[in-house]
Amino acid sequence: MARPRRRTSRKQSVSLKNAPQPGSTDPSIIRNFCIIAHIDHGKSTLADRMLQLTGVVDERASRAQYLDRMDIERERGITIKSQAVRMPWTVPAGNAEDAEPGTYVLNMIDTPGHVDFTYEVSRSLEACEAAVLLVDAAQGIEAQTLANLYLAMGADLHIIPVLNKIDLPSANVEKYAAELAGLVGCEPEDVLLTSAKTGVGVETLLNEIVKQTPAPVGDADAPARALIFDSVYDTYRGVVTYVRVVDGKLSHRDRIKMMSTNAVHEMLEVGVISPEPVKAGEIGVGEVGYLITGVKDVRQSRVGDTVTSQHHGATESLGGYKHPNPMVYAGLYPIDGDDYPTLRDALEKLQLNDAALTYEPETSGALGFGFRCGFLGLLHMEITRDRLEREFNLDLISTAPNVVYEVALDDGTEVEVTNPSEYPDGKVAEVREPVVKATILAPSDYIGTIMELCQLKRGNLQGMDYLSEDRVEMRYTLPMGEIVFDFFDQLKSRTKGYASLDYERSGEQAADLVKVDILLQGEPVDAFSAIIHRDAAYSYGVMMAGKLKDLIPRQQFEVPIQAAIGARVIARETIRAIRKDVLAKCYGGDISRKRKLLEKQKAGKKRMKNIGSVEVPPEAFVAALATTQPTEKTGKK
């Protein structure tokens, strides 16, 4: 088997031999672009076809969703991390697309489509001059299509509209080409038609990318400036930093400086991703590549920082990124308390790769030491926990997710509450909750169903527009706390999967919210507390009390489980005591003897109840908290 493998690698190197080499590349032949779309519209499949057509991946090495490297991405069929790859592309002489003949360098970034990973998309856009806007020819424009388009327009990128999956029997090319043209502001015939699965139209698309994408602009003689748009941690090599060079050049063995921290490092390796790392002597203006300095401290390579030369370096940094505000908070605790330092190191390394993740230490009376983590959404939370468990071999308990509330007390003080345990005990004057601007796209047949769901979730209709005869865009203001639990699930099930959702933070509003405590034998268990609307408090209390009754093992004494708002109990269940048959040896005789034994047992149980503590096994916490609310589902790619 070894011989064919060597023969294949020789053949591949020959096919790429004449491609422009990193560092010596003229910026006029570089084209930096990304692919943006809604979930499941074919971004990763299109990227696969481009990799095959440009020859950087041969048929033997090829696999579906080649750029989705993580196991969790391949299992779920979704893209979580943006991936950059360098590809050579030769435009033949006399082509019909009027692109200048010659060999070009295409730097492509494949981006996620889910709303929870919008920050990944926004960072990728800063490394590009154009965006390929991909729309499914069978489903049309959806909510995240619009959201990503507005991000690309905000970054001043050239938009290339593409209709994908034209080979599907249900494809409606004319209708959705007209919709897409109206959205972008071009003619329907300007919309490119492709099938990423079969490869139809992909060559034409590559030629159009060469023709329409502006070449990168920068000063090759100026001091080096490069923007860090992503970083990963490698156990053996330390921090691997991905950059887009704007001015000057970065060379092997140069001493570089991170402008935000003033940390100085020597570059041990510099190169490009094609699609595996390829070493280079240097990377110049407009190129996208990676740097390795051997640094193990992940805090010294922050996303959005500017890299420059130590000597005669730039004085003005590049713009960087606006840091996202967490939408959802949840506590992460190791089941084994000895894993706390490992969890801290793991979060630090994961934050390097996922700049939208925030965390700070916290302590729970029930769960011990852990971290309060901020996420952009429920899927982001789920993926982060999965990655921590897989990549760092941790067993974790996550508390029920909640958003940030502003609580104003009667004495005028204000408290920011990210955790129910922080809810103040004083008299509350007002509670303000975060609200989001939600955009829902769906067939017009489901307008009534969607309105009913949004009213149930305390939403306010802000407007409605028809995109076509049978597709409508509805704009709602909804409480963030209602969005993060089961809203997406219910929306999908009520519209048979046709509706799509996008949302963004849009301020705060006052609401009638209360803290529901769960008490075991009169003692509150902070891990089960929740801040919810007063109308939903009773159902939450009944659900948690019933669930804990089934999960907590019976004790030697009777254990009451109560749900309470302040001092008022709103729900109760009782775990019956384990009864020992103290009358087993009484084969008759006077009834007073039996009564005496039963009274003695009763007194013993009462004394035990006064001094005993309820043992709640970790499995009960995992089961109660993991299934408190359903999680968001995603489609397969």
Does the pLDDT value for residue 635 go beyond 50?
no
602 carries a ligand binding annotation: no
The answer to whether residue 540 scores a pLDDT higher than 50 is yes
Q: For residue 452, what pLDDT is reported? A: 92
Domain limits, the chain = 18-212, 225-309, 328-399, 406-511, 514-626
Question: Of the ranges 117-121, 472-476, 527-531, 595-599, which is most confident?
Answer: 472-476
Q: What is the mean pLDDT of residues 465-489?
A: 83
Q: What is the pLDDT of residue 476?
A: 92
Enter the CATH code of domain 18-212. 3.40.50.300
167 is in an annotated binding site: yes
* Residue 99's pLDDT band (cuts 50, 70, 90): low
- Domain 225-309 coded CATH 1.10.150.20: no
Check whether 42 is labelled as a binding-site residue: yes
Please check if 45 is assigned to a binding site.
yes
CA distance linking residue 268 with residue 256, whole number of Å: 11
Q: Check: CB of residue 430 under 8 Å from CB of residue 510.
A: yes
Alpha-carbon gap, residue 405 to 532, rounded angstroms: 11
CATH of domain 514-626: 3.30.70.2570
Q: Is 190 annotated as a binding residue?
A: no
**Residue 41 annotated as part of some ligand binding site:** yes
311 is an annotated ligand-binding site residue: no
**Is 166 annotated as contributing to ligand binding?**
yes
What pLDDT, on the 0 to 100 scale, is given for residue 449?
A: 92
Q: Please check whether the two domains, 18-212 and 514-626, share a CATH topology.
A: no
% pLDDT > 70, the chain: 80
Report the candidate in 441, 442, 435, 451 with the shortest Cα–Cα distance to residue 483. Answer: 435
Choices 3.30.70.870, 3.40.50.720, 3.40.50.1110, 3.40.50.620: CATH for 328-399: 3.30.70.870
pLDDT of 636 > 50? The answer is: no
- pLDDT(257) > 80: yes
Contact yes or no for 9/114 (Cβ under 8 A): no
* HEC secondary structure over 43-66: HHHHHHHHHHHCCCCCCCCCCCCC
Q: What class does CATH assign to 406-511?
A: alpha beta
353 annotated among ligand-binding-site residues: no
Q: What is the mean pLDDT of residues 289-296?
A: 81
More confident site: 120 or 575: 575
Among 2-16, 44-58, 246-260, 316-330, whose mean pLDDT is lowest? 2-16
Q: Which residue has the higher pLDDT, 618 or 567?
A: 567
594-608 pLDDT, tens digit per residue, is: 777 777 766 665 555
Output 404 or 636, whichever has higher pLDDT: 404
Average pLDDT across the chain, whole number:
78
To the question of whether residue 411 is assigned a binding role by annotation, the answer is: no
